[in-house]
Structure 1
Amino acid sequence: MEIDSEQSSLRPMLCELNILTRSDGSALLTQGETAVIASVHGPVEVRLQHLSAEKAHVEIHFRPRSGLGSVSDRLLENLIRSTYESTILTALHPRTAISIQLQEMQDHGGLIACAINAVCLALVNSGIEMQYLVGAVHSVLDADGRIWLDPSDLQAKDAQARFTFVFDSVAKKTVSIYTHGRFTPEQYHRALRLGTTAVDEVFEFYRKIVAKQCEVL
């Protein structure tokens, strides 16, 4: 099945680094009309129950735009934590914690991918060492079997399945995968192939943001 240009293009991305003054690194990232602020504190003192002589403890705190956190918010925290526990060089900072705060500003589709990408940019801004950068891509499967890449919430409202793939910047292998809904193996692999191609746009965006930061410095 061919996928037209509308279905295979990412929404525009915008980013501002150092958005918060009391953090070691921060980033405001928008993807389409979805917006997230990520901030990084650390390495900092770790709570005794999380102390490790071998590595730093990575903690993620997600705050929704309004109200108290839900079960899905805790799921998002766990997904991001597992992604960055394997990405950050935690062995360089034993007996410490790296605390990452996420604030949802707007959610108009693809919140998980936007949050993961915002954290990556905030970590780059903080100077904390990573094995590689990671980029997340969101897509949905509609009732007609079409894959829509990075859709808005309106485009995705009747989605049959949702996919979020997280890739590393070196070999473009999957670091984390989040799926929801019903889909066939063929549909899954089609979404994966589309994400593998589209993530190049995310990494190119990172390069532009980092180059812009270096010019300012």
Structure 2
Amino acid sequence: MEVENNTNLLMRDVNCKLGIFTRPDGSVFISQGETAVVVGIYGPIEVKLHKMLINKASVETHYCPKSGTPGISDKLCESILHNVCEAALVSTLYPRSSILIIIQEMQNRGGILSCAVNGCCLALLNAGTDMKFLFASSSCGLDDEGNFHLDPDNLFLEKATASFIFVFDSVGKGLIASHTSGSFNLAQYQNALELCKKASEGIFDFYKCMIKKDLQDKI
């Protein structure tokens, strides 16, 4: 892999605060650089009859943009977030109920999907919802000289040749979701995948630190 020779491989600062609201079962404010989201988890809660599943929980995900009505890109984010959360949850433990996940975009300065994915995982942890695995997302961009930029902001993405977003699980670090755009070859895709997989390990370590800190604060 050639990623080791490239520059700009540092992530923006990641910060979060767990349990920021009292009404949801779990909540988090998370920021990556100037990009920020708030995530709230409700459930398992009572589900409407037409959405009820006999053998597992119904997982609902709602992505709310900072302003206005959701557009095509917002619906894409919502679909990816739903698929990731549904794959991670042990929904068979909560039959005939619903798990509601609400993601509110606060600021988008690039990497909003990765930030939202990581926020969902932290909020589910804060809610104590049973999961098969944790999940973490990281992103990178490719410039016209073939250099990778980890966790790029909007200024870079506006002129990037290609952008990559990956979501990994905590068990085997396997790929569970991805989204790409732009022009790239197979070797560049593999390099981006390996780079983001390494970055995701740092996100998983961040989860551990935040959960440990949250437990200590409650003692």
Q: TM-score, normalised by structure 1?
A: 0.96
| Higher share of residues assigned helix | 2
- TM-superposed CA distance for 1:20, in Å, is 1.4
- Checking the alignment, whether the CA contact within 8 Å between 1:3 and 1:147 is kept in structure 2 is no
Alpha-carbon distance in 2 for matches of 1:2, 1:119: 29
- TM-superposed CA distance for 1:83, in Å, is 0.6
Amino acid of the residue matched to residue 47 of structure 1?
A: K
Alpha-carbon distance in 2 for matches of 1:5, 1:37: 33
- Checking the alignment, whether the CA contact within 8 Å between 1:163 and 1:178 is kept in structure 2 is yes
SS at match of 1:83: helix
- Per-residue CA distance 1:113-151 (angstroms, 9 max, x = gap): 000000100000000000111000011111222211101
Alpha-carbon distance in 1 for matches of 2:51, 2:7: 46
Residues 117-196 of structure 1 aligned to structure 2 (within 5 Å)? 117-196=118-197
5+ long unaligned stretches in structure 1: none
Q: Find the counterpart in structure 2 of residue 198 from structure 1.
A: 199
User: Residue 182 and residue 212 in structure 1: after superposition, are their counterparts in 2 closer, same or farther (change >3 A)?
Assistant: same
User: Residue 181 and residue 114 in structure 1: after superposition, are their counterparts in 2 closer, same or farther (change >3 A)?
Assistant: same
Give the length in aligned residue pairs.
Answer: 217
Amino acid of the residue matched to residue 70 of structure 1?
A: G
Sequence identity of aligned pairs in percent? Answer: 39
Deviates further, 28-37 or 44-53 = 44-53
1:10 aligns to 2:11 (yes or no):
yes
- TM-superposed CA distance for 1:6, in Å, is 4.9
Alpha-carbon distance in 1 for matches of 2:188, 2:117: 24
Amino acid of the residue matched to residue 100 of structure 2?
A: S
- Checking the alignment, whether the CA contact within 8 Å between 1:137 and 1:198 is kept in structure 2 is yes
5+ long unaligned stretches in structure 2: none
Q: Find the counterpart in structure 2 of residue 46 from structure 1.
A: 47
Alpha-carbon distance in 2 for matches of 1:198, 1:73: 24
Q: Find the counterpart in structure 2 of residue 76 from structure 1.
A: 77
- Per-residue CA distance 1:143-162 (angstroms, 9 max, x = gap): 22221110111122211211
Alpha-carbon distance in 2 for matches of 1:25, 1:100: 10
Q: TM-score, normalised by structure 2?
A: 0.96
Q: 4+ residue stretches of structure 1 with deviation over 6 A? A: none
Alpha-carbon distance in 2 for matches of 1:20, 1:47: 25
Q: Find the counterpart in structure 1 of residue 209 from structure 2.
A: 208
1:97 aligns to 2:101 (yes or no):
no
- TM-superposed CA distance for 1:48, in Å, is 2.1
Alpha-carbon distance in 2 for matches of 1:100, 1:6: 36
Deviates further, 63-72 or 114-123 = 63-72
Alpha-carbon distance in 2 for matches of 1:141, 1:5: 10
Alpha-carbon distance in 2 for matches of 1:86, 1:2: 30
- TM-superposed CA distance for 1:49, in Å, is 2.3
- Checking the alignment, whether the CA contact within 8 Å between 1:59 and 1:100 is kept in structure 2 is yes
**C-alpha RMSD over aligned residues:** 1.2
- TM-superposed CA distance for 1:46, in Å, is 1.3
- TM-superposed CA distance for 1:5, in Å, is 7.4
Amino acid of the residue matched to residue 151 of structure 2?
A: D
SS at match of 2:136: strand
Amino acid of the residue matched to residue 154 of structure 1?
A: L
